[in-house]
Each structure stands twice: as C-alpha cells, then as structure tokens.
Structure 1
Amino acid sequence: MRIEIHEMTTAPQLIALRERRIDAGLLREPPEDEPELGFATVLTEPFVAVLPAAHPLAARRAVEVAELAGEPFVLLPRAEGPRLHDRIVAICAAAGFVPRVAQRAVEWQTVCGLVEAGLGVSLAPASIRRIRLKGVAFRRIVPGARTSVAVSWRGDDENPLVAALLRTIDQVGGPRATGSSTGPSVISDVE
C-alpha cells in the first residue's frame, strides 16, 4: 500500500470521494447532505480580514466587517468550495452588504498575492496568516465568525489506511461523527 496526496479544493474532493478516486479528504466547510460519507471536524478557526498592508484598516487590531462594504473582494470561485464561498458571503450579508467580487482565485496564496497587489480585500480562515507576504495584513474581524475543516471518507470504505486514519482521529479528538457533519470531534482549535 502507498499513500498518495492530491491537492484539491472541497468540491473536487467530494466528487473524487464519490467516484472512489480518493479514500479520504480534508474539506473546508463540509456539506451536510452527503449520507454516504462520514465527516469528523479536525480543526475550527476564526475568519480574518486580509488587507493590503497600506490599507487604512490595516493599522487596527480588529476590523468591523461592515467597514469592508465598499471594498473590492478577492474570493474563491463558488464552484471550488460552495459552502466556504457562501459562508463568506453570509458574513458580509450579516454586516449589511454583498461583497463586490473583483478577482477570483482558487489558492489562498494567490488570494494573498492579489490582495498584496491592491486588487481587493478578502475574508479567509486564520491559518492563511502562515502565508507571509510583507504587503498583506491579517486582522481579526468583528463580529467574529469561525470556519471548520473536516476529514471525510466513504462509509463503506474498507481500506485499512482509512481505518487507521479514523482511529488516530478518535485517539486525538474523541468520538467521530459518521454519515453527517453534525456533532463531530474537534482535534485542534486555531486562534
């Protein structure tokens, strides 16, 4: 047996799981309506504002989401991660506006590069802060909002590597949810 790692966003992973091309995936904002799949949350983290370093709001420790209303946004295409995209749009809607999307990018590194180039702002998972670009500032948002990453697998998968992965998740994070994304364990919490 061998382990092969493929980089994919959430939507392509779900297709690959259903088509049995992959055995497990790590999904950002997993779906709720996939009864043949199991999910276990392995990470929750807050969203942050991603701003050009020279932006006036970058001088603050926290940014009110409503203050981003007039800004162009850099967002991932909805087709690549529908629930994450919709979650970001919902955060903006709760602050009273619909984001005006100026650019789309699939990878977070590209989102940061486009923000650094002054093409817009974004809302992103806090782990994006690991991408170190001098021209980008990451700021806490108010009101706060969180996002999650879940491991996913087919409920009928008998692959011993998948079983070993799920045992490890159980040992680190407690009982896992199967067949839905409700009630999952949390392995780590990023702030």
Structure 2
Amino acid sequence: MLERWMMNDGKEIEVHEEFRILSSEVISRTAFGSSFKEGQHIFGMLNELMIISDRNTFKMSLPIISDLFKTKDEKDAVSLDQRIADSIKEMVKSREAKVKNREAAGFGKDYLGLLLKAYHDEGQSNKISIEQLVDECKTLYVAGQETTNTLLSWMILLLSIHQDWQEEARKEVLTVFGHDKPPYADGITRLKLVSILFCL
C-alpha cells in the first residue's frame, strides 16, 4: 500500500478507501488464516449487506404489509445474510474435516480456530452454538473494520494538519525500531507519543 502511495506522489489519495482495503485484508488473515480468500469473499458480502442496511435506515415499514410484500433490498439482505452464514459454515466444515482426517493437529490459532475450539468444547459453560460462531465472525468484520478505518483516517488527517507532531512521531518510531526493523509488540508499547496521538 505504501509503495503504491509513493508512486502517487503529489496526487490526492482516498485514504479511507485505502484503509478499508487494508483492514479487510488484515482482518481476513487474522480471522481466517489460511482461508484468507474465502474470508475476503465473506467480507465483500458483509459490505454489500451494510450498504443495503444504510440505504434503508430511515425507511418505515408497516408490520403486516412488510411481512407480505418484501422489497428488493429486503430480499437481497436475507439472501446475502444466508450466503454469509453458509460460507462461514463451509469453512467450519473444512477445518473440522482436516482435523478429523488428521491433516491438521488442531483447529488453528486464528480467530476461527479459537471459535471452533469453543464450539467443540466438552464443558457446557464455554460451548457456543454454530449460530453464535457465525455471529462472532460477522461482528469481528463489521466492528473491527469500521473502527480501524475511522481511526487510521482520523490519525492521517491530524498528522497532515499538524506536521510538527508528524515529525516528532516519526522520530520516536525510528528511535524505537530503527530504519530497517519491522514493528514488534514490546516496541509498540514503548511508543509514548504515538500512543497519545491515538487517544486524541
């Protein structure tokens, strides 16, 4: 993404859209690991569902008439919701089959793997249903993606307006990580100025 931005030197970049793409990729990899492509497909369907929902936010529906006559958007939303659930359930079946056939030692350490462990848990206190598993996957996408986009876009805006802070943040990052080291968890906790910027 950054390399693509550098090629657009001097041109305007729609950062919110760029961060939407980036965050969807990160969430897909985090949530579904090796099933990343399928995760992105689910994310696309969830995005369509959110667009339909936004479009109909202020439309009023009458109880009996709405049950008898569904609008195109309502039919599309029901269809998308079902396809999303089916896709997640298909990934669940695929992971379960790999474990059953001993192709994998466990369900994995990604988000879907953790949910599958809870789904197959022997104890009733930690066990979740397949519907809860599907809902958890959808929630991670919708909540995670929107908040991440908004936070990153807002930070970029603030740093572009206050370039003196941008320079100080850059110095701090280079001091902690150097010029050629990728960020690591312990180093991130040492970024005091950057942490303050995230809280603004």
Using structure 2 for the length normalisation, give the TM-score. Answer: 0.23
Larger radius of gyration: 2
Structure ranking higher in strand proportion: 1
Higher relative contact order (CA 8 A, sep 6+): 1
